[in-house]
Amino acid sequence: MSADAPRPRRRSSPTELEAAQDEFETKHARLVQILEDREADALVLNTAGALSWLLLGARVHVSLAGPPILNAVVHREGVEIGVFANESDRMCEEELDTLLLAGAPVQVHELPWYSDLAAISEWLPVSGAWTLLSETSAALELRAARASLLPPEIERYRGLCTDAASALTEVLSAATPETTERQLSAGLAPLIITAGADPVVLLANGASRAAHRHPLPTDATLGRRAMAVVCARRGGLIANVTRWVAFEDPLPGEEALDEAIARVEADALGALAPGVALEAVLEELMAAYPRHGLDVQEWTRHHQGGAAGYQGRDPRLSPGVRDLIHPNQAFALNPSGFDPARRLAAKIEDTVVLRSEGSASPWVDVLSVDSRWPTVQIDGRARPSVLRL
């Protein structure tokens, strides 16, 4: 820390401090390897996902829609953090406290609120002689560095995903056909916030808007069937969960569509394996739609999800993506379908981790689980069914 930077106030146990130091050292070492491979002196991190990952889940934003209030310059000996002076006290006392108390090699530099965080050489003059890598120039390597979640990260992620799934259970169980989409989302928001998370995405559609796969909520009532989506961020990690509720018996073909989409997802989850090209999962999804009786072009009508973690998708599945799959990497796949003739819609989404430890075969660990929610077995895995009220 710089001499004029505030000191952290919260007390952490020796076990917490040791765990924080271990996690930071592991992540810093991954970034140093990028510097070695690219023959660079330092790496500049300026996005929320990258910063929160390195800084052990620190909230590096004020506005959910705005840029981070700090930048980090990662070099071989440690990390230099440039932060606006009006934010420095809070950041050191509430967000970086455990990291600083653990003795991590982190120096905090206070900048006037009107400064340009990106003007690195102005607040870190020594960097003027360095070869700096930007996040953009090292995007592929940075995603690989973030990909393999550490055991403490997986358990933090599980807690968040469980809270998101629980919030959906609570709110959808109390919904009625007369509930509006906005009322549904308004019921979810306080539960997410009370759980210490940010509701970064809340979606809802009733039967009248079933065709919209990214349905921002409106005043429309839910009607006979509805979908709700929660994307919640806590500790930098983002949970992605979709659930359906129905108030009437299914229409002809509706249950078949739900099952088909679940089987598309199952085929894609079965394609996850360490070392496999991420694009191969998209290719499996493309083949799975017609395999299960859906239109061959269905995959083009909505994004299919992708790797998850400290970004909503890190990265999103798309043609030409160059990433490989890593052990202990998180995913949130997002297959969906719509039958325009009968106006039937289906979608499935949970946050999972491809667990790979020791000599055990890799397996899919579903994190966003609430035991109260009805499930159906798909290829030997419990998947969320429609909650029928």
**CATH no. for residue 360?**
3.90.230.10
Whether 4 is covered by a domain: the verdict is no
pTM for this prediction? 0.96
Q: What tokens were used for 46? A: 């300026």
Query: Based on the domain organization, do 259 and 366 belong to the same domain?
Result: yes
Query: Based on the domain organization, do 138 and 270 belong to the same domain?
Result: no
Cα dihedral 83→135→54→145 (10° resolution) = -170
Residue 157 has pLDDT above 80, yes or no: yes
Query: Based on the domain organization, do 105 and 208 belong to the same domain?
Result: no
Query: Based on the domain organization, do 208 and 345 belong to the same domain?
Result: yes
Query: Based on the domain organization, do 186 and 64 belong to the same domain?
Result: no
Spatial separation of the C-alpha atoms in residues 311 and 316, rounded to whole Å: 10
Residue 387 has pLDDT above 60, yes or no: yes
Average pLDDT score over residue span 221-242: 98
Average pLDDT score over residue span 316-339: 97
Whether 1 is covered by a domain: the verdict is no
Query: Based on the domain organization, do 218 and 284 belong to the same domain?
Result: yes
Residue 5 has pLDDT above 90, yes or no: no
pLDDT band at 3 (very low <50, low <70, confident <90, very high): very low
The string of pLDDT tens digits covering residues 85-132 is 999 999 999 999 999 999 999 999 999 999 999 999 999 999 999 999
Cα dihedral 116→134→236→61 (10° resolution) = 10
Domain of residue 91 covers: 14-146
pLDDT value, residue 1 = 47
pLDDT band at 357 (very low <50, low <70, confident <90, very high): confident
**CATH no. for residue 21?**
3.40.350.10
Residue 28 identity (one-letter amino acid): H
Specify the number of domains making up the chain. Answer: 2
Query: Based on the domain organization, do 166 and 108 belong to the same domain?
Result: no
Query: Based on the domain organization, do 121 and 259 belong to the same domain?
Result: no
Query: Based on the domain organization, do 156 and 103 belong to the same domain?
Result: no
| End position of a domain, from candidates 124, 146, 168 | 146
Q: Are 194 and 206 in contact (CB under 8 A)?
A: no
pLDDT band at 355 (very low <50, low <70, confident <90, very high): very high
- Contacts for 62-69 with beta carbons within 8 Å, 24 or more apart? 62/87, 64/198, 64/200, 68/117
Query: Based on the domain organization, do 94 and 170 belong to the same domain?
Result: no
Whether 9 is covered by a domain: the verdict is no
Whether 7 is covered by a domain: the verdict is no
Query: Based on the domain organization, do 136 and 161 belong to the same domain?
Result: no
| End position of a domain, from candidates 129, 146, 163 | 146
Query: Based on the domain organization, do 108 and 256 belong to the same domain?
Result: no
| End position of a domain, from candidates 146, 169, 197 | 146
